[in-house]
Structure 1
Amino acid sequence: MTEILLIRHGETAWNAIKKLQGHLDIPLNAEGTRQAKALAAALENEKLDAVFSSDLQRAVQTAGEIARLQGVSTRIDANLRERCFGGFEGMLYSELPLRYPEAYATWRSHEPDSQFPPSAANNVGESIRQFQLRTISAITHHARQFEGKKIAIVAHGGVLECAYRAAKDLPLHAPREITIYNASINRFKWDGAKLSLIQWGDISHLETTAALDEFNQDKVA
């Protein structure tokens, strides 16, 4: 049995304004950096045998804070990247139904094999089916490598959703039923054959830090 802490990266400027990132490499903003440090501090007393990360810098920066306090190196895996959204990337969510009404409606219908309009580089992105296969294969590969141990995997909202679907045996076309928080801790177990969900959406470490920040500001004032 492998224990997996599946973590979404901290906030970026694009998260804050609801702009679709996908494979675009956006760094953490100041709030995201604060979140990553609070997350690392919350996990400091949990012995992690390895810390894995997507190769996109928002994940690498978040994982780096965890790895630093754990005294380990971050292991980079491009297969843990967010879903590629083709021509949708770099656009505000509010712009999508206006710019690509048909493609947006198809995307919202959760059709497992639907594609995206191509990007300027002619990249059409990934279907849900392709994305699910890529990410779950990566997660379970690392779980097998560290059987009987505890690992952290820092990735993206879409990757977390794929793991949730796999653990709950949800069909690919099912609509999202959970909230995916930046810098959240989501606990899974891998028994050699299947993922199971232990805990979802723990952000208590962020609330505590925010409360302390507010207290300290009041104290200074």
Structure 2
Amino acid sequence: MKLYLVRHGQDTLNKRGGWSQEPLTQEGIKEVELLSQKIKDIKFDYIIASDLQRTVQTANIIRSRLLFPKDIILDGCLREVNNGLLAGMDNELALEKFPNLFWNTLDWEESYPQGESPTQFFERISNWYQNFLSEYRTSNNVLIVTHQGVIDILLCIINNKSFSNKKVHYKIKCGQMITIVIE
């Protein structure tokens, strides 16, 4: 199976992401349209996306450009880390209310206020991946539209690398895709 991991297009830059419901910016829409052109000849068996607005919007643009006949499968397990109270918060306000609170400053077991810890996030994505393999292993081409943090964890799992929230192991730009062959 070939797994195509797509990071959503650019969303609002002045707000915290995570579980925010920010839409794509005009730049983000252009990024996704350009990606759609590059992948127009791939025949996908499934398109699966996080259920947050920026990924749903990304998946819908791709689906319409590819004339993909099936519905997109929305999956809340593919959401970015749950950053709780910070989700969608203006960056300046977040710095004021939660100074020095960032993904890479959390301890492994420390949660965002009303959100997830790095270990909870890792376990959620790891469990999702095991379930995904059970259900879709016989597929040829599956497109997953998700977030930087999710892609980072998935690539660590697939490549047997240790994951830590202290650094980004696999950086992928907004509106970009990585292809992985799963044996």
Same fold per TM (> 0.5)?
A: yes
Unaligned runs of 5+ in 2: none
Query: Which position in structure 2 is the counterpart of 1:74?
Result: 72
Aligned residue pairs total 179
Partner of 1:37: 33
How big is the shift at 1:134? 1.3
Give ranges in structure 1 of 5+ residues lacking alignment.
118-123, 192-221
Distance in 2 separating the partners of 1:142 and 1:171 = 19
Aligned to 2:124: 134
From 91, 98, 115, the equivalent of 1:125 is 115
Query: Please, which moves more after superposition, 139-148 or 52-61?
Result: 139-148
Bigger Rg, which one: 1
**Partner letter of residue 134 of structure 1?**
R
Pairwise CA distance, 1:174: 4.6
1:155 equivalenced with 2:146 (yes/no) = yes
- The residue matched to 1:158 in structure 2 has which SS? helix
Give the equivalent residue in structure 2 for 1:26: 22
* 3-state SS of paired residue (2:2): strand
1:85 paired to 2:76: no
Shift of 1:140: 3.7
Structure with a larger share of its residues in helix: 1
Distance 1:139 1:41 in 2: 28
**Which fold has the larger relative contact order, with Cα–Cα distance below 8 Å and residues 6 or more apart in sequence?**
2
- Tell me the alpha carbon deviations over residues 112-170 of structure 1, each in whole angstroms, 9 at most, x when there is no partner: 211122xxxxxx10111111121232234233322242100001111111112223422
Could you tell me whether the CA contact under 8 Å between 1:110 and 1:175 is conserved in 2?
Answer: no
1:155–1:127 distance in 2 versus 1, CA, 3 Å: same
Instruction: Give distance in 2, aligned partners of 1:172 and 1:183.
Output: 24
- 1:202: which partner in 2? none
Once the 2 structures are TM-superposed, how far is the Cα of residue 98 of structure 1 from its aligned partner?
A: 4.3
Q: Deviations over 1:83-123 (max 9, x none)?
A: 11112223345654543236x27x43452211122xxxxxx
1:50 & 1:178 partners in 2: Cα distance? 24
Contact kept, 8 Å, 1:110 with 1:172, in 2: the verdict is no
Name the CA distance, whole Å, in 2 between partners of 1:135 and 1:160: 9
CA distance in 2, matches of 1:164, 1:11: 21
| Identical aligned residues as a percent | 26
2:10 and 2:111 map into 1 onto residues whose CA distance is 27
TM-score (norm 2): 0.85
RMSD between aligned residues: 2.2
Find the aligned partners of 2:164 and 2:56 in 1 and give their Cα distance.
Answer: 28
With normalisation by structure 1, the TM-score equals 0.72
2:21, 2:88 within 8 Å by CA — same for their partners in 1? Answer: no
- Do the aligned residues in 2 keep the contact of 1:112 with 1:129 (CA within 8 Å)? yes
Is the 2:148–2:171 Cα contact (8 Å) retained in structure 1? no
Given that 1:6 and 1:155 are in contact with CA atoms closer than 8 Å, whether structure 2 keeps it comes out as yes
Compute the displacement of 1:38 (Å).
1.6
